[in-house]
């Protein structure tokens, strides 16, 4: 599982390997001076101090994603210019996001604690996310869109937490 996740990311990065000093090859016969690769990791890419048992494959894959993004960003950092936009590679690392993946965890908390959905969410977030607020997929998407803008030409190799303060602890 870890290998397949990291291999997918590595193959995507290899497609952008530079063959000329000022341009990157992103496909057969396709060369660019402007390329944005934004990966979605998870807060586990950054929260190494908060690793926990039983999720070793998930955490390992997320660490690999963040690390591979940083290395690839360094490999392509000199391509292009401020005018062309250059090549940037970043990783967004969300904490709790209001998605179908989180819904069963909320339902389980609600049942175990015998509380409302809102109270179950608050109890779940209180453990790690100081803001006590879920992010929305749209918020994560807006950050990804901004990272793709030409003005973001010097933001590369970052793992950006959107975690309500989780990694600040």
Could you tell me which residues come within 8 angstroms of residue 168 by beta carbon, excluding any fewer than 6 positions away?
130
Query: Are 105 and 98 spatial neighbours (Cβ–Cβ below 8 Å)?
Result: no
Q: Find where tokens 């959107």 sit.
A: 162
Q: Which residues are tagged catalytic?
A: 58
Task: Determine the length of the chain.
Answer: 169
Query: Are 117 and 110 spatial neighbours (Cβ–Cβ below 8 Å)?
Result: yes
How many whole angstroms separate alpha carbon 132 and alpha carbon 128? 9
């Amino acid at each position: 599982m870890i290998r397949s996740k990291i291999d997918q990311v590595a193959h995507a990065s290899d497609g952008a390997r530079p063959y000329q000093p000022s341009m990157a090859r992103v496909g057969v016969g396709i060369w660019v001076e402007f390329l944005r690769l934004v990966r979605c990791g998870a807060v586990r890419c950054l929260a190494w101090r908060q690793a926990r048992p039983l999720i070793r494959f998930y955490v390992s894959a997320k660490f690999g994603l963040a690390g591979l993004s940083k290395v690839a960003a360094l490999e392509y950092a000199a391509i292009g210019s401020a005018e062309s936009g250059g090549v940037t590679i970043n990783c967004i690392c969300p904490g709790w996001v209001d998605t179908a993946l989180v819904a069963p965890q909320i339902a389980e908390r609600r049942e175990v604690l015998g509380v409302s959905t809102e109270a179950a969410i608050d109890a779940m977030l209180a453990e790690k996310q100081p803001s006590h607020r879920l992010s929305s997929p749209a918020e994560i998407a807006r950050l990804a869109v901004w990272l793709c803008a030409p003005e973001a030409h010097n933001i590369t190799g970052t793992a950006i937490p959107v975690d309500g303060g989780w990694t600040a602890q």
